[in-house]
Amino acid sequence: MSPRSKLAARRLILARVLARRCPQCGRGWIFQGYARVAPACKRCGLVFRREPGAQTGSMYLTAAASEIFAAALIFLFWWLFDWTPLVFVLATAPLVLAFCAAFLPVSQALWVGVEYATDLEGREPWVELRE
């Protein structure tokens, strides 16, 4: 695979998983409910959850994004308002929790895409990116 086609494949995978679609075929759904990754794609059969703990990376991704969001929010509130630390916590905690809940499915879908792209790069025989 040439570097240009690798980049095109990565972009296609990213677009598909951000749309919460299967990274291989682009037609099946990744989720079967809110933040519940389906075992496999109903269209092409790609297995999303191959082993226990396969989605641990998405947990770390959510934690990192939430910490960055919380730090930015605290800095913004500190710059705009003259609040006590308790008020900062009370104001930012619900917003950070809402961000976590909203970002969790995104990180899970991204992690499915990362695993698929890794398998595609490793030339696994069962991986076949379909247009």
Model confidence pLDDT, tens digit, residues 48-97: 877 777 788 999 999 999 999 999 998 898 889 988 889 888 989 999 99
Rg (CA), the chain: 18
Q: Show me where the domains of the chain are located.
A: 3-121
Task: Return the pLDDT at 51.
Answer: 78
More confident residue, 104 or 5: 104
pTM summary value: 0.85
Mean pLDDT of the chain: 89
Task: Return the pLDDT at 105.
Answer: 95
Contacts of 37 (CB under 8 A, 6+ apart): 30, 31, 48, 49, 55, 108, 112
Task: Return the pLDDT at 3.
Answer: 65
